[in-house]
Amino acid sequence: MTSRERVCAALSRRPVDRVPVDFGGTRQSGIAASAYHALREHLGVRPGRPVRVFDLFQMLAQVEQEVADRFGADCVGLYRPEVAFGIRNANWKPWTLFDGTPVEVPGGFHPETEPDGSLVLRQGPRLLARMPRDGFYFDRLEPYPGAVHPDLDTWEPPRLDAATLEHYPRQAAALYENTDKALVAPVGPPYELFFGLGQGGFERWMLTLVTEPDYVRALYAKLVDAWLDNLRAFHTAVGERLQVLQICDDFGTQRAPFLSERLFCELVLPAYRRGLDWVHAHTTWKIVLHSDGAIFPLLPAISEMAWTSSIRSRSTRPAWSRAGSRPLTATGWYSGAGPATRRPPSPLAVRKTSPGKRGSIWKSSAAAAGTCSRRCTTFKPACHRPTSWRCLTPHGTSGRALDSASAARPASAPAATYRSPNHHHPARTGPSTRFT
C-alpha cells in the first residue's frame, strides 16, 4: 500500500496496513528549523548543511525526502510560492537564527533590527511582524478585516494571482509524479472566518461578531465569494492530483470554545458550509480542519459540514456525534504537555495518545528534542508552538535530574517548564490531541 493509498483509505474509513503518518505535510505538523537541524545532525543526514526555512512566520524547516521517509511520513504539502508575509520562496540565501543554527531563507527576507535586538518585518510603512530578541518565530501584527471593520461597499478580499496559479500545476505534477505521498494543500478562505479574521484586534472582532450579525454575514458573503473563485481556479490548476484540502481556523481556548454553539451555527457554520459544499460537489478531495482548543461542544455542528476534523483539545470526552450528523475520521496527534507517568525511551520521542482509547504509542519526533531551564534532555511540547517545551524529567529539591530512562514522575511532582520569549498563547497550553 503506497502512502497515497494509505491516507485516502484511512480518510475514507477503509482498512489500512498501518496508521498514516504526517510529518511536515502541513504547517501544523512541521518542525522548527533549529530542532530539525539537530535532528538531521543526529541522523547523519546532510550534516553541516544549512536548513531551508520555508515558513518565515513560524520559522519552520523544509523537511527533505530522506528525513520524511525515515519517519514513515505519508503526506507532502502543496504550498503557494509565498508561504508567509508575501515573500516568495526563491533566491535562497544564508542566514543564522538567534540560537546560532545555520539556515537558508528566501532572498526577499529583509528583517530590520530594532535597538533592543528584536527583528521586525515591514511592507512599506506597514509593520507586519516582530520576533523578540532570542525568539523562535514571528508574532503577526498586521490587523485583519475583522479587526479594522472595512467598508464592504469598497473593500474586496484577495484572490489567487496569475503567478500563483502558474506555480500550482507545476508543483502538483512534480509532487504527484515523483512521490507516492498524499498531497495536502491549505486553500481556505482568504482569511480564517473566525479566529484569523480578528488578528490585530481580536476584542473588536468579537464585539462585532456579537453585536453586528448582519455586517458579519455580509463580510462572510464577500469572503466566501472570493474563496469560491479561488477554489475554482485552484481545481482547474491541480485537478484530482490533490488528495486533501486543508482548512485552518481556531475555535477554542484550552478549556472551552471561544463562542457558543448557537453563534457558531448561526454565523460561522453557514459560511464554511457554502465553500465546502462546492468542494464535495465538484472534487474528490478530502477536507481536513485544523482547529486549536477544546471544541468538543462544536463537534456535532462541525460534523454537519461534512469535513474531516483535525483539532487540538484539552478534553478527552468521546461525545463526538449526535443523530443525523456526518461521521468524522479520527487519528491521534500528540503535540502538548500533560501529566506524565513515565519518560520516553529517548530524547527524540514523544507520547502519542488518542482520546477514548486505551494505551499509547511512543512515536519518534524531533519536536521532542530541546533544553529546559535545568538543562535536561527529555521533553515534549508545552503548547502548539514547536519551540515551547515541558520537561518530563522528575526533579528533586536539589534540581538534579534522575538519569534512569524508566524513572516515573510522581503525579504531585511539578514539571520544570521552559517557554520561548515570545510565547503568546498561555491560555492554550497543556494536553493536545489531533483528530483527522
> What is the 3-state secondary structure of 106-156?
CCCCCCEECCCCCEEEEECCEEEEEECCCCCCCEECCCCHHHHCCCCCCCC
224: helix, coil or strand? helix
Give residue 406's Cα distance to chain centre.
Answer: 32
Record the cell numbers describing residue 344, joined without a space: 520516553
DSSP letter (8 states) at residue 170: H
Backbone φ/ψ region at 112: left (φ over 0), alpha (ψ -120 to 50), beta: beta
So what's the pLDDT on residue 351?
31
Which residue carries 511592507 as its cell?
A: 123
So what's the pLDDT on residue 49?
92
Across the beta sheet with 102-105, the strand order is 60-61, 51-55, 102-105, 93-96
So what's the pLDDT on residue 328?
62
Task: Please state, in angstroms and as integers, the Cα–Cα distance from residue 347 to each residue in 48, 195, 369, 379, 415, following that order.
Answer: 21, 34, 6, 7, 16
Backbone angles phi, psi at 16, to 5 degrees: -130, 160
Tell me the C-alpha distance between 270 and 100, whole Å: 47
Which residue carries 456579537 as its cell?
A: 210
Across the beta sheet with 75-77, the strand order is 75-77, 182-186, 244-248, 286-291, 308-311
- Cβ–Cβ under 8 Å, residues 298 and 251: yes
Domain covering 145-297: architecture:
Alpha-Beta Barrel (3.20)
Task: Please state, in angstroms and as integers, the Cα–Cα distance from residue 285 to each residue in 79, 124, 238, 245, 279, following that order.
Answer: 16, 38, 11, 6, 7
pTM of the complete model = 0.74
**Gap between the terminal Cα atoms of the chain:** 20
The H or E element containing residue 380 is strand 379-381
Q: Which long-range contacts (CB under 8 A, 24 or more apart) does 87-92 make?
A: 87/56, 89/54, 92/52
Provide the residue ranges of all domains of the chain, joining segments of one domain with +.
Answer: 1-142, 145-297, 335-431
Per-residue pLDDT of the chain (436 residues; tens, 9 = 90+): 999 999 999 988 899 999 999 999 999 999 999 999 999 999 999 888 999 999 999 999 999 999 999 999 999 999 999 999 999 999 999 999 999 999 999 999 999 999 999 999 998 888 999 999 999 999 999 999 999 999 999 999 999 999 999 999 999 999 999 999 999 999 999 999 999 999 999 999 999 999 999 999 999 999 999 999 999 999 999 999 999 999 999 999 989 999 999 999 999 999 999 999 999 999 999 999 888 888 889 988 888 776 544 443 434 344 444 444 555 655 444 443 333 333 333 333 333 333 333 332 223 233 333 333 333 333 333 333 333 333 333 333 333 332 223 333 333 433 333 333 343 333 333 333 333 3
Record the cell numbers describing residue 406, joined without a space: 524508566
Beta-carbon count within 10 A of 339 CB: 8
